[in-house]
Structure 1
């Protein structure tokens, strides 16, 4: 952990601070003059400065402290600075706090307040370093993901989406079937397109078939094709989806709705790569990458005798389980803005409403809401009323959207003596989450 630099010409002050802080495992270095302090800052890892306001004998104006603070700000704009002040130049210290100093402590100082202030500032500095490192790593990961793969223009900001997209691109390279599961409206077909676009057959066709949109007696003809006269109205031969997808990817959406007879035929093709058109005795051969999707509970359908277990294992070479929109809340606003036409933007309260809503219909519902809101908005700003969302009860909100209010936060800070890490743990928050709430509510950190 970086050390604390005490800049004070009085050795007794430096010794007292070093003793107090060392009892709490905090390293302290001392500089007896502004010049020495600036030199140490250039050569050592310092996380916080405690500086006096006067350095020369018989000087009480505080002008030296003001000059030192401005030099610190010029060379180290993000370094937190605590001022040690006497009542005679309290006004100067207050002016410096307005200029960016984090706090001032009157001599003689209160040990409890000084420790709480120092701990909070060191924790905040560490949290900022952690956040910067996290953002840097996140930026590098996303640049690699975006730069090295075709994501088909998908819009995302949440870590859960990034993880799933990275997995989709990874499994795309393997020549095995992929089963995409998740609630309706989560973008299963988009993920199927991503798997195809990053696979070895990406130059081939991508053919989609919604198994749930066809009558049971037409499924076989749709999958495998039919010769002329195979059924009433079949006046000429027709190509099935397997033939159309030869050399590429066949996407079977809502595969859980396939009738058992169709499941048997599909299983045979997956095992042999060969099939016959309806009404034909001639076998045909294809090479097709299978990606399937369902919102159904296939193991439950297997237990009920409505889905073949051997087909399930053939389709489920690897599973991509897409989370609902409520489980990836950082995607909500980027998607909402993406769905708005040019010239329209969200108002602040509308943004908060979108983030609080549970989105049972997932991305599809969000797209429909934004398209409707764009039509209803009378000017460029989309309001809450334009969204037309129902009132949301606390019980209906997505997990993690409720948060402690001002009274709960202030009570926790009081119980923990102002130490933010302890208060955050008591409130069930990370330090960064507590810092954000303090800033939003205007609660002082000391």
Structure 2
């Protein structure tokens, strides 16, 4: 009988999480964040990093307590209640469904701008087909592809930062070390929080690695370490990169917000560098798409094993490759919706579900370690009470900074989940089916 095999090392899991973040997206979304924060992009990433670090600590604690696939769904279900666990899985499922589509749509949009004779839909379909084939074949193949694509991304980011530094030092009007990118004359806390709420989208890689627990060597140690390492790596990369880019272009005004990074690339490196940057950005979106589709399919597999959703469809593995092929293909089919909607509409779903799930996980740590197990001495006070409260508070602060469209769409999805839970539990009279952790 096919089964998931434990082949992934710490390095491979960290690589997966960082690839899921698509590090080069810090450049791809720079214009939108610059506009949102009034030219204080690094501060938005710093605010997001603080919130995400404390939440990542909570994830690492829960990953050690429950070293199995399922992400927030598993942690909340086992530590608080089956019904809340289902809702945590439901809201994060929305993210996992839509993140691959958003990633592929961004890449397709850039390619369509560069080659307008080829339709955006055709580029999107090409992304979907190639990524789906890689994931059906299996994680070992995907790991090899991601290693190459990550190297290309990092080189492009390093070149962008180096050219930004060269531009600033040559220009001579701005010091290389300044607080202005973090807090300029237009800065306001509401702008920073709104930008931070958007920037958190880039940090979802630490959640994604938890879905690989069933395929990781010694997951009880490896997954918690990977969660922290992915969060720290992303924080440093996003803050440092956005700092030097903001120095090179202090203004938050661009000819085209969506392609602001191309405008900056031309400013600091000319037309030749613009070409290299475009290639790197598309490669980054492709690498992130591989990871995003993998995570979505694994979360569906975890819920399928539980029979919360159809076990016959979602809980099956391919006989040849031992991968959840049905789920991988479903993610690809859902992404075809991207041919009919734009990036902003799709992305508006994502952070609502992520923040809600993050708050659930912070509460899980408090309930599991502090309340149930009564671990309340010394360092445990910080680890299992104060830090999760900080994670909960900062995440809630970003949550209420989301725009109205995100709330509206998110509430609709949450209500659908509550209705389905009522159906599944005979109007909440019984628990959802129990997950089998094998």
Per the TM superposition, whether the score is higher than 0.5 is no
- Return the structure number with greater strand share: 1
Larger radius of gyration: 1
Higher RCO (C-alpha 8 Å, min separation 6): 2
**TM-score, normalising length: structure 1:** 0.24
- Return the structure number with greater helix share: 2
